[in-house]
Every structure is written in C-alpha cells, then in structure tokens.
Amino acid sequence: MNIKLLTTSILAGSLLAATSHTAFAQTAEEKGFAISQESKVRDDGWVDMLASMNMVLRNKQGQESVRNIRMKTLEVANDGDKSLSIFDKPRDVKGTAFLSFSHTKGADDQWLYLPALKRVKRIASRNKSGPFMGSEFSFEDLASFEIEKYTYKFLKEEACELGNCFVVEQYPTDKNSGYKRRIVWIDKAEYRMIKTEFYDRKNSLLKTLTSHDFKQYKGKFWRADLMKMINHQSGKSTDLKWSSYKFGNGLSASDFNKNTLKRAR
Amino acid sequence: MNKIAWIAIGSGLLLQPAISQALEFEVSGKVGSEITLYTDKGQFADQDYRSNISFSVQPEFYWSWNNGQDNLTFQPFLRKDQRDGKRSHGDIRELSWVHLGEDWELRTGLRKVFWGVTEFQNLVDVINQKDIVEGLDNENKLGQPMVNLSLVKGWGIVDFYVLPGFREQTYVGQNGRLRAGLVVDSDETSYQSSRDDKHVDLALRWSHSVDVFDIGAHWYKGTDRSPQYTAINKNGQQVLKAHYQQIEQAGVDLQATIDSWLFKGEVIYQDNPVEDYWASQLGVEYTFYGIGETQTDLGVLLEYGKDQRGKRANAIMQNDVGIGARLEFNDTQSSSLLAGVIHDLDYNSNSVSVEAERRLGEDWKLSVEARAFSVGKQQDPLSNFDQDDFVKITLNRYF
C-alpha cells in the first residue's frame, strides 16, 4: 500500500466516521421529523383519488348509526389537498356536499351545499376539533397529513402488528387543534401509520385509531380498508370502512368549485 | 312557457337515454306530517280554530346518462291541509335537465336558485317566487322556468338566466292563519307588462371566492316577485288585489370568513315605476366551538335590515334588527336549536322564533317550530298575526 492510497483510505474512513457521527447526533426531533416526512414522501404523487366511506357509529350501549359518504380528492403540490365529499346517509342529509381546500399554512377554505335550500354556504374552518357527522372522527382526523401541521419527536422503535414500528410523537402547530399531542406508530417497511393515540388538551388519552387491511394501489400507495376509532373517555366508537378506491381519474382543479359542489351527487 | 311544454322536454330527454345502456336512476324524497297549535283563535273571520293538521310529500326522481354529462331531476311537491284549501297545493319544484361541458353547464327547466349570504332575509335572492303558504321563513320556493348557462372562469362563475314565465306568489286562503285581514284574490291579479305572466325576465350573476371573501354581484330585469297590494270591492266583499310591476335591480352580496367570524352583507338598488330605492342587510356571526368542554357549538348572529322606502316598504326588515343564536349539539342525532328575534325599530314590534331539530333513528326527523308576535303599534302589518302565536311540530320520513 503506498502512501497516497493510505492517505485516501484514512481520509475516506474519517469522512465515513464523520457522516455516521452526524447520523448518530441526529436529535429525537430531527429523527421524528425525518420519519414523518418519509411517510409523506412515500405517499406523494397519487394525483387524484375517489373513495367511498361507510361509517358505523356506536354509542356506549352498542346502538349503531350509519353514515355513507363519497369523496373525490385532488393532490395539490406544495399545498393541502382539494376535496369534495358527498353525503348519502343519513337520508335527511342526502345530497349535502362539502368542498374543502386545505392549506399547509393558514385557514382552510370550506363550503357546504344544502340541497333543500340550494344554498352554498362558506363556513368557518376553525372548527378542527369538532366531530365529523357526530362520529368519533374529528375534522382534523380526516384531513390530509401535511408535514407543516406538526412538530415531531422520535420516541422509540418497537414490535407492532406489521413487523417493526417507529413510534413518533407529533405536536399540532395549529392552536385550534383539539389535541396536545398524538403518538403515531409507523411501520419500518412501508411507512404506514398503523396506530395513533390522541391526547386531549389536558394531556389525557382521548382516542385510539387503528388502521387495518392495508392494500397497495398503483404499486405505491398504501390505503387501509378499515379504520377503528375508539374514544376512551366517552366509550363511543366509530368504524370507518373504505371502499371503491380509484386512483388516476383525470381530475383537475376545475372539478372542485361551487358549481361542481352544487351538482355533486 | 307552460308546464306541459316542460314535461314534453322532459319526456323527450327520457327517450334519449333509453337507447344507451349506462342510465342511472335514483328515487329519494320525504313524506311529512305536521300539526300546528295556536295559542288563540284567529282575529279574522273563518279563523276560529286552534289546531291544524297537514301532510306533504316530495319525492325526487333522478336520471343520469352520457357518463354523468347529462342528468334530469324531477321533484314534484304536494300538500294537503286540513283547514286551508289554498295551502293544499301542488308544485313542480324541479323538472330540469342539466348538460355539462368542459367549463360550462346548461341548466334547462323548472329550477330553484339561491343567492345570498345573510340569515334573516336575502335581498339579492330574486330568481324564484316564494311559496309563502309553506311557512314564514321564505325557505320554500316555487320552481322557476329557466334556461341558465353557467360559465366557470378563472375570475369567477358567470350565470346567464333567461326566465320565460312568471310564478305568482301563493296566498293563504280564507280559512288560513298568518294572513292579513283581507284575503288576496288571485283571480284579480294584474301585471304591468302587457304580456302578463308571460314576460321573459333576464338575470346575470357573477360570483367568486378570493381568499377569505365570497363575492357576488347580480343584475335582474323583469317581473317583481313581490307584488303591490290594493284593497278592492268584489261582489260586495273587500279583497286584496296583487299587482306585479316591472323592475330592474342590481345588487351585491359579500361574506368575509375570518377565523370564527362571518361578516355578511347584501345590498340592492331597485328601479321600479313607483319609487326607486336601495335596501341593505348587514350582519355578523360568531361561533364558539365546543362550549363548556362539550361538543356543542354556539353561534350568535346580529343583523340589521334597512329599506330606503321605510314604512312603505313591502319587505319584512325595513328598519329591523335581528338577533339569533344557534346551538349545534354535534351528536349522532344531529340535534340543533335555533332561536331568533326580529325587532322592528319603526313599530317597536317583536317577532320571536325557536326551532329545534333532531333525527329519530336513521330515517325520521322531528322538528318543532314556535313563533310569537308582539306588536308595538297597530299600524305595523305584523298586527295581522297578533293572535297567531303557534307551535308547529313536524315529523318527516326520508326515503
């Protein structure tokens, strides 16, 4: 081995050490951010999506109530998604439709169409923590995951239903969020959020969401067929069954305006 | 254009999809029964009762074809009233064909349109005639014949309306409550236009959303939806005669949605043969979310309505303040409670209303509406309702 080669290998070795040292020095905050960002990046590029939601609401006594909703969603680069939700059940709200332009910064734009009056109402989007259709899902639980909406902290790795999981704590940046924090279990293989614990503003465990029966679409995007939300404080629960997922429908921004809201059905 | 012509158009359309395979068809709707209890017998002749029962049915038939690019909606409405023959009535709320283009829509037939942002009254909402006999809230309207071309542009949505044919307002009959001392005799109705109710009205509207603002502007030229009344003697009996004049109107409506605040305004200027005037409805709404650590939201609203014609105005809120509170319980049954009072500054009168709603099971809905009137000065048209305080219980079954 000549001197030159030796020097190179020493240099390379120290360089390697330096990089691995950086990786080692990554704070829990940075690691939590990186994992969450990776889960977002892996789901980028789905462009548009159609899906049907069937919600079964259960109270403490086990009484059930059903909600059926169809959704159209458009991915928007560098901003939140645009979505149009159409209500089929309960029947008294059939034809009611909800248009939302979510934003990574600032308030979302939301309109509600009331078919009996043929009226489109712009509504305040501040109500993130309110229940969606009387269910245990709040509006923010159903909103698209945007990296800017939280700050992060990596907690640990542990075995979970889908192998090994990163456990990351996420703190909402929005003062109107109903949560102080949430703890998310993300599987190491595919970066799917398989379980979330929600802590209320007083830092008590409020709800647990678990996602089941993941299927992969377009060879990339993982979607759960079933989401179960349990409210530990009220004893109520909601099962959200997803069906008819369809990607690549050629939707564009022109499918999301007040005219499409009024004729949505 | 008459109803038969529209039905012909509808049937013509129906033949088209018969050939195609991909026709979607859907039926939905509601049937309802209501009972109204009055605190007193009415103050006028033939109003000597304290309760009334009524039934209604409103199905909706929907066909869609051509990959959803064409659809037809047929929504008839029928009411049977125990006491008032005039309130027993039918209407085609909707019989319309919609064709979708790339960035335009053509809507043809009998339709219902809503314009506006405020809650107590909507000055800019001029397209449809109100179905007054259905209730005082003006939420029920008669289907209006129209051809409406809607264009979606980057700078907003533009709607062109050609409105062939006019729908006369419905009037409570001799046996009905919540009416004036004299009954409107619809046989005596007159029009300024020589074409009577065949006058072709025109309207144009632009609406857009920019940031926190939702803006709309309109122009309308045609038959006034609100008639002028005069008392006449017919066969020795005093009756009211309705006269519909020709008007031209421009207006704007604006809402700013900022955090939990909604700032709303509607302003119109109307040119008519009697007197030109402006009117406005301005208001603010604030919502407290999750009050008292519950899931209940409380919205409070304040509105002021002003009509330049003052006491001569045929509007409800010519110089009135409206205060309201809305409770949304956000529960499984979607329970809600709405309370409001309109105070008339000219006559010092109050009109109070409370409306509560709750879903029963999956397909039923129970609503209770109570209204009370307190009249300050007898010149106030509200004095006609002086003994008409009531509670109305409605049970609807949806299918």
Which residue segments constitute the domains of chain B, with CATH numbers given? 3-398 (2.40.160.100)
Query: How many domains is chain A built from?
Result: 1
Whose tokens are 């397909």? That residue is B363
- The alpha carbon of residue B235 is apart from the nearest alpha carbon of chain A, in Å, by 41
Q: What does pTM read for this prediction?
A: 0.90
Residue A1 pLDDT greater than 90, yes or no? no
pLDDT given for residue B1 in this prediction: 45
The amino acid occupying position B342 is I
Whether A5 maps to a domain, the answer reads: no
Looking at residue A138, which CATH number applies to its domain?
A: 2.50.20.10
Residue A28 contacts by C-beta under 8 Å, 6 or more apart in sequence?
Answer: A153, A154, A155
ipTM of the assembly? Answer: 0.92
Interface of A with B in 56-75 (CB under 8 A): 57, 59, 65-66
Q: Are B344 and B322 in contact (CB under 8 A)?
A: no
Query: Are A92 and B150 inside 8 Å of each other by CB?
Result: no
> Which residue among B28, B98, B214 sits closest to A94, beta carbon to beta carbon?
B28
Residue A11: how many other CB atoms lie within 10 Å = 10
pLDDT grade for A20, boundaries at 50, 70 and 90? very low
What is the tens place of the pLDDT at every residue in A131-169? 999 999 999 999 888 898 999 999 999 999 889 999 999
Tens of pLDDT, residues A208-254:
999 999 999 999 999 999 999 999 999 999 999 999 999 999 999 99
**Integer Cα distance of B380 and B183 in angstroms:** 17
Q: Which pLDDT value is given to residue B382? A: 92
A47 in a structural domain: yes
B344, two tokens: 């008339």
User: Quick one: CA dihedral A197, A198, A203, A204, positive or negative?
Assistant: negative
Residue of B289, B293, B297 best to disrupt the A interface, most CBs of A under 10 A: B289
Q: Calculate the dihedral angle through the C-alpha atoms of B397, B97, B78, B351, rounding to the nearest 10 degrees.
A: 80
The answer to whether position A6 is within a domain reads no
Position A2 pLDDT exceeds 70 = no
Q: What's the DSSP call for residue B9? A: H
Please state, in angstroms and as integers, the Cα–Cα distance from residue B188 to each residue in A96, A208, B171, B174, following that order.
Answer: 41, 68, 13, 15
Is the separation of the CB atoms in B340 and B326 below 8 Å? no
Q: What is the pLDDT of residue A184?
A: 97
> How far is the C-alpha of A10 from the C-alpha of B19, rounded, in Å?
80
Chain A residues whose CB is inside 8 A of the B116 CB are 119
Model confidence pLDDT, tens digit, residues A170-188: 999 988 899 999 999 999 9
Amino acid A18: pLDDT: 44
Report if residue A240 sits inside a domain. yes
Tokens of A191: 């970066």
- A256 neighbors A101 (Cβ within 8 angstroms): yes
pLDDT, tens digit (0-9, with 9 covering 90-100), for A56-73: 999 999 999 999 999 999
Res. A17 pLDDT band, cuts 50 70 90: very low
Buried b (16+ CB within 10 A) or exposed e, A231-262: beeeebbbbbbbeeeeeeeebeeebbbbbbbb
Report d(CA A122, CA B256) in Å as an integer: 9
Hey, of A87, A91, A111, A126, which one would you mutate to test binding to chain B, going by the most B CBs within 10 A of its CB? A91
B97-118 as b/e: b if 16+ CB within 10 A? bbebeeeebebbbbbbbbbbbb
Distance of CA A122 to the CA centre of its chain: 24
Query: Which segment of A5-14, A138-147, A193-202, B211-220 scores lowest on mean pLDDT?
Result: A5-14
As a whole number of angstroms, the distance between CA A125 and CA A176 comes to 10
Query: Are residues B165 and B142 in contact, defined by beta-carbon separation less than 8 angstroms?
Result: no
Residue A11 pLDDT > 60: no
Average pLDDT over residues A112-139: 92
What would the two tokens of residue B206 be? 């632009």
Can you tell me which residue has the tokens 């929600």?
A198
Alpha-carbon distance of B104 to B107, in angstroms, equals 10
**What residue of B is the nearest CA neighbor of A120?**
B114
Question: What stretches in chain B show pLDDT beneath 70?
Answer: 1-21
What would the two tokens of residue A47 be? 């462009």
pLDDT score, position A15? 45
Residue A128 falls inside a structural domain: yes
Instruction: Identify whether A203 is part of a domain.
Output: yes
Task: Answer whether residue A20 is part of any domain.
Answer: no
